[in-house]
Amino acid sequence: MTATTRRDPRGIHIGLIGFGILAYLTLIGLPGRFGEAAPFVMAIVTAVIVALALRGEAQRHPPATVMRQALIAGAVCGALTAALVGIFAALLGNGVRVQPVLDKITPPNVAAWYGAPVLAVARGQLGAFDFLRPFLVVLLGGVAGGALAIALHRAASRTRDERAPAWTRWAVIALPFVLLLAVVVLGQPAVTIGGANKGTIRLLLAMLAIAAGLFAMRAANPGREQSAVAIALLAGLAALPFMLDQFQNAVMGIVFIFVMMGLGLNIVVGYAGLLDLGYVAFFAIGAYAYAFLSAPFSSPWFSQQLAAWGLPTDQPLLSFWQAIPVVMILAAIGGILLGTPVLRLRGDYLAIVTLGFGEIIRLFMLNLADLTNGPRGLLNLAPPTLFGYNLGNPRDIFILALLGTAVIAFVAFRLERSRIGRAWVAIREDEDAAQAMGVDLVRIKLMAFAIGATFAGVAGQLYAARQVNIFPDNFSLFVSIDALALIIVGGMGSIPGVVLGAITLKGLPEVLRGVDEYRIVLFAALLVVMMIVRPEGLLPSERRRMELHGEAEAAPEQAS
Amino acid sequence: MRERGWVRALQSRIVSQSLVVASDVQRRAQTMRWVARAIALLIVVAVVARAVAVSLTEGYPLTFWASQLVNGLVLGGVYALVALGYTLVYGILLMINFAHGEVMMIGGVAGFFALQLAQALGWMSGPAGLVALALLAVMGVGMIGAMLTGVTLERIAYRPLRNAPRLVPLISAIGASLFLQYSVLLIFGVSPLVYQRPALISGGFRIGPVFIPYTGLIIFLTSLALMGALFVIVQRTRLGRAMRAVAADRDAAALMGVDVNQIITFTFLLGSALAGAAGVMLGFHNSVIKFNSGFIPGLKAFTAAVMGGIGNIPGAMVGALVLGIAESIGPSALGIPAEYKDIIAFVLLVLVLIFRPQGLLGEALAEKKV
């Protein structure tokens, strides 16, 4: 690698990779999203790519070499990008309709690259200099990236030996409360912040407050200090639903329903290491069970049966609270029924078979029209009530989700440290060794499936009550993927990780409007990147971190 | 002295105890195996009885079954090409390339563009020889597109994780699968890409009363040819021998001077090329390709690979044909609605994994592979 600096193949290489990424972003229509800011954003993207790619070079080579490579990377990347965008602009300017094939290559998207008016592109009125602009933008980004790489290297070598001073710990602990305070202050009608949307910012702050709270718990010293922080944080969390408005509460409600579900999946995947891709099945069982119990009239077959038994069909069979144990039992039975056939399967096979189960359940929901009313769904589910009060509004659903999360998190926390929890970890690490040590594999695995399913079932019930009407499409494969992604991003086997993951993956997209279209691509890329960079997640459990890093120590030797 | 005697007594007790436990476990495993066989037999008998009963009551004509069989063989041919990719990769890396179905889909997309170009150049309406050549070129482009995708995928998403715990690359593969699907959705939009069949291969012919579409025949024959080519590559060439060596023992192969990285890349190339061909042929057969066209066929092909015995090349072909036929004949034979045909594949997968985890043709696998 040292001898190759003369001809700088690394700069060209980085330029090609950068071009690949920029071309991809253009094809999925990202520049158009940013409008006038697009050149700036694209320059930043280039800078980040180049800085990441040259991070290692900055350690080994003098700044001049790094800058030269950055310049070459920027030039290669810029020339190719400008050529690609130029071709699109020329096509559009000559009235060729690209869109039937390349969906996002529209005049606004291409014009964003030039910082030019849309009509200029559509009518082919771009000047010669305009065609150079993407090149200059990317070139500047590349050079900035080189400078950034050097700066990062300098900063890293300066702070390497310094330990964080004591006050940072207190700052971390104080941060969630400061953020909560900001939520309250911004909630006052008198406070305004320019033209920005106050509601979105408050929602973002509330989510950041919860996330910061998780880190504050980590930062606090175990013992009395940690308990005090925990109690203060719980008080803050309990107050949160009363600080937020309808929309904000609705978002937080769905986030915490996913936390409930994620905690269940965390038991199956995180603790017991059984990769279940059909987890949505249990969520769906919970939701449909509650639907049958609370709106029997919308299921043709079920209402017929009830009528045959002489029971009334026009009102809920059981209230929300009475339905909880029934849903739990049904979901647990579902977990055992789906878990039994796959007891002998491991890892990848388990993943595919459970994925199949998830699809089968969805196909049944769609096609068993007599029972589930097919794609028309089950309608008019009863909201939860308490002493005659309707708890169906977003704030109360959020409170219920918080309560459910608290109960489930407590159970999961205690289970993790119980005999069963240790057995789960044992089968995750080495099934054969665990069996040799006397772990009853059948019982322990079924326990994991049943308990995980129970949690998902309750989450599904709450979800159904929140939605009022449920359809098979609510329970697609993507619910499983979402749940899996959130526990992976948060940190498998870590309860605070699940909360952080749900906020990152379910909450933040609600704040960042316009990202919705890119949500799945973003998730998917995040899954791959997480696995490569930080497979233990953002807030890993201690044990998991040690496991994954024990193996990772050996890996870089081969990779480099 | 006394202590030592005590220890020895304890030791001998433990040994005899564990021997008892071991034989007990063996006996239990033996009975479990017989129970499993009995249940498997019962299921087979029940399915056959049901099929016989349905076919007697419904009274479909024989031509109906024959044309379903033809459909099944065509479907099986496509599954086989994709299943081979799963099997090759699994044989070498012991990982499921979850994104393999998407590699196939991208092959189909690349083929679509080649087809558009060929149409624009007027090759598709020329003389029969030109059309045939153009069709081959379209398939070649599809294969190249899939190969690029497959190799890039391995480079980015799998290679850095080669020594990680097994769940890690699998999750990365799931991420890659979603990423490819939804990137295609974003780039090409929701409306499917329509393959227009040239006149040469639209329509079909009849053998007696059974109608056989040309695309079906071509798919089946091409699949056979490609599988033959693969077989020759794996069994007769140096690279193939290196592949088999890496599959048998990666470290030993490396010590013998095999470049493992190169062989793994080559494996992805081969598997992706077959998948790309399958993607183009599926495009011609179904007339459309869209972002999720690869997902379900990918799962089915994986099922086929497992049914045949994963890591086993002839097994993947047999498994795919069995699955294709089961899927096209199954719904009418068992008298269940056609919407449930996807369920048949998954149920078959579960049954095979439970009752014959080594697959139809597979050798008994070591525990680590199951």
Q: Which of A116, A117, A121 is nearest to A137 (CA)?
A: A116
- Taking the CA of residue B174 and the nearest CA in chain A, the distance in Å comes to 8
The rounded distance, in Å, linking the Cα atoms of A382 and A402 is 20
pLDDT on residue A556? 41
pLDDT exceeds cutoff 70 at A140: yes
Do the Cβ atoms of A400 and A391 come closer than 8 Å?
A: yes
Please state, in angstroms and rounded to a whole number, the distance separating the CA atoms of residues B253 and B245. Answer: 6
Q: Are A145 and A51 in contact (CB under 8 A)?
A: yes
Contacts of B166 in chain A (CB under 8 A): 347-348
Q: What whole-number distance in Å separates Cα of residue B131 and Cα of residue B214? A: 14
φ/ψ of residue A389, rounded to 5: -85, 135
Q: Rounded to an integer, what distance in angstroms lies between the CA atom of residue B103 and that of residue A507? A: 32
* Cβ contact, residue pair A103, B186, below 8 Å: yes
3-state helix, strand, coil in chain A (%, to 5): 80, 0, 20
Contacts of A367 in chain B (CB under 8 A): 337, 339-340
**Cβ-based contacts of A28 with chain B (< 8 Å):** 183, 186-187
The arithmetic mean of pLDDT across residues A65-73, rounded, is 85
The pLDDT tens digits of the residues spanning A372-409 come to 877 887 887 878 878 878 787 888 889 999 999 999 99
Q: Is this complex scored with an ipTM above 0.90?
A: no
Count CB-CB contacts under 10 A for residue A351: 26
pLDDT at A349: 77
Angle, helices A63-93 vs A38-60, to 10°: value is 150
pLDDT of residue B370: 37
Under the banding of pLDDT at 50, 70 and 90, the label for residue B16 is low
Q: Do A104 and B172 touch (CB under 8 A)?
A: no
CA angle B309, B311, B316 (to 5 degrees): 55
- pLDDT tens for residues B265-307? 999 999 899 999 999 988 888 888 888 888 888 888 888 888 8
Helical H segments across A417-540, by residue range: 419-429, 431-436, 441-467, 477-490, 495-502, 508-511, 519-533
Per CB-CB distance under 8 Å, the chain B contacts of A366 are: 339
Distances in Å between the Cα of A482 and the Cα atoms of A433, A487, A519, B47 are 32, 9, 10, 37
Token readout for A123 is: 């009518």
Cα B98 to Cα A116, A266, A396, distances in angstroms:
42, 22, 41
CA-based end-to-end distance of chain B: 49
Q: Is the pLDDT of residue A552 over 50?
A: no
Task: Give the separation between CA A220 and CA A209, rounded to whole angstroms.
Answer: 16
Chain B CB contacts of A517 under 8 Å are 186
Phi and psi torsions of A470, nearest 5°:
-125, 145
Contact in structure between A342 and A275 (CB atoms under 8 Å): no
CB contact under 8 A, B370 and A342: no
* Confidence band of A453 (pLDDT split at 50, 70, 90): very high
| A205 CA: distance to closest CA in chain B (Å) | 29
- In order, the DSSP letters of B108-148 are HHHHHHHHHHHHHTTGGGS-HHHHHHHHHHHHHHHHHHHHH
Q: Which residue has the tokens 């039994």?
A: A340
Q: Which residues of A touch B183 (CB under 8 A)?
A: 24, 28, 521
Interface touch A521/B337, C-beta < 8 Å: no
Is A555 within 8 Å of B163 when comparing Cβ atoms?
yes
How far is C-alpha B333 from the chain's CA centre?
A: 24
| Cβ atoms A96, A141 nearer than 8 A | no
For chain B, the C-alpha Rg in angstroms (whole number) is 24
pLDDT band at A273 (very low <50, low <70, confident <90, very high): confident
At residue A554 the predicted structure's pLDDT band, cuts being 50, 70 and 90, is: very low
Confidence class for position A4, pLDDT limits 50, 70, 90: very low
- Are the beta carbons of B172 and A532 separated by less than 8 Å? yes
Has residue A410 got a pLDDT over 70?
A: yes
Mutate to test the interface with A, among B24, B181, B187 (most CBs of A within 10 A): B187
Residues of chain B positioned with their CB less than 8 A from the CB of A435: none
**B143-194 pLDDT, tens digit each:** 999 999 999 999 888 888 887 777 788 888 888 998 999 898 888 888 888 8
Partner A, chain B 160-189, Cβ-Cβ below 8 Å:
160-172, 174-179, 182-183, 186-189
d(CA B332, CA B340): 11
Q: Residue B306 and residue A349: Cβ atoms within 8 Å?
A: yes
Domains of chain B in sequence order = 79-361 (1.10.3470)
> Which residues in chain A have Cβ-Cβ distances shorter than 8 Å to B299?
352, 355-356
* pLDDT of A451 strictly over 90: yes
The confidence score (pLDDT) of residue A173 equals: 83
CA atoms of A279 and A443, how far apart (whole Å): 19
The percent of chain B in helix, strand and coil, each rounded to the nearest 5, is 80, 5, 15
Distance (Å, rounded) from C-alpha A411 to C-alpha A452?
A: 11
Residues with Cβ within 8 Å of A543's Cβ and at least 6 positions away in sequence, in order, are A425, A493
- Residue-wise pLDDT tens digits, B48-85: 887 777 777 777 777 777 888 888 888 888 888 888 88
- Which residues contact residue A68 at a Cβ distance below 8 angstroms, ignoring those fewer than 6 apart? A8, A11
What span, in angstroms and rounded, lies between the C-alpha atoms of A124 and A538? 48
Residues in A closer than 8 angstroms to B167, CB to CB, are 273, 275, 347
Average pLDDT, chain A: 82
Residue A515 has pLDDT above 80, yes or no: no
B92–A contact, CB cutoff 8 A: no
* Residue B193 to residue A101, Cβ atoms within 8 A: yes
State how far the Cα of A134 lies from the Cα of A31, in Å rounded to an integer: 12
Contacts of A344 in chain B (CB under 8 A): 353-354, 357, 370
- The alpha-carbon gap from B310 to the nearest alpha carbon of chain A, in Å, equals 11
Of A103, A367, A484, the CB nearest to B339: A367
- Residues A295 and A467 sit within 8 Å (Cβ to Cβ): no
B284 closest CA partner among B154, B126, B135, B96: B135
Q: Which of A24, A344, A535 sits opposite B164 (nearest CB)?
A: A535
Do B164 and A367 lie within an 8 Å CB cutoff? Answer: no
CB pairs under 8 A between A and B: 151
pLDDT: which is higher, B367 or B228? B228
Contacts of A23 in chain B (CB under 8 A): none
- Tokens standing for A536? 């233990």
Q: Which letter does DSSP use for residue A506 in this model?
A: I
**Total residues belonging to chain B:** 370
**CA dihedral over A271, A272, A277, A283, signed as positive or negative:** negative
In sequence order, what are the beta bridge partners of A389?
A386
User: Closest partner residue to A349 among B161, B179, B353, by Cβ?
Assistant: B353
Surface of B (192-251) touching A: CB under 8 A: 193
**Residue A150 φ/ψ, nearest 5 degrees:** -65, -45
Percent of chain B topping pLDDT 70: 90
Within a 10 A sphere around the Cβ of B33, how many other Cβ atoms?
11
* Closest partner CB to A104 (pick from B186, B306, B367): B186
- Inter-chain touch A356–B183, beta carbons under 8 Å: no
Of A119, A55, A59, A63, the residue nearest A89 (C-alpha): A119
Residue B327: CB partners within 8 Å, gap ≥ 6? B72, B75, B300, B341, B344, B345
By Cβ distance, the residue of B172, B178, B187 closest to A104 is B187
CA B113 and chain centroid, separation:
25
- Whether A217 and A226 have beta carbons less than 8 Å apart is answered as yes
Q: Is B191 on the interface with A (CB under 8 A)?
A: yes
Of B160, B186, B302, the CB nearest to A559: B160
DSSP for B272-330, please give it: HHHHHHHHHHHHHHHSEE-TTTTHHHHHHHHHHHHHH-TT-HHHHHHHHHHHHHHHHHH
Query: What b/e sequence results for A258-292 when a residue is b if at least 16 CB atoms lie within 10 Å of its CB, and e otherwise?
Result: bbbbbbbbbbbbbbbbbbbbbbbbbbbbbbbbbbb
The label of the residue with tokens 């700036």 reads A40
User: By CA distance, what is A547's nearest residue in B?
Assistant: B165
**Chain CA centroid to CA B370, Å:** 17
A385-386 vs A389-390, strand pairing mode = antiparallel
Residues of chain B found within 8 Å of residue A277, distances taken between Cβ atoms: 174
Residue B352 with chain A: CB contacts under 8 Å: none
Angstrom distance (rounded) from CA A206 to CA A216: 15
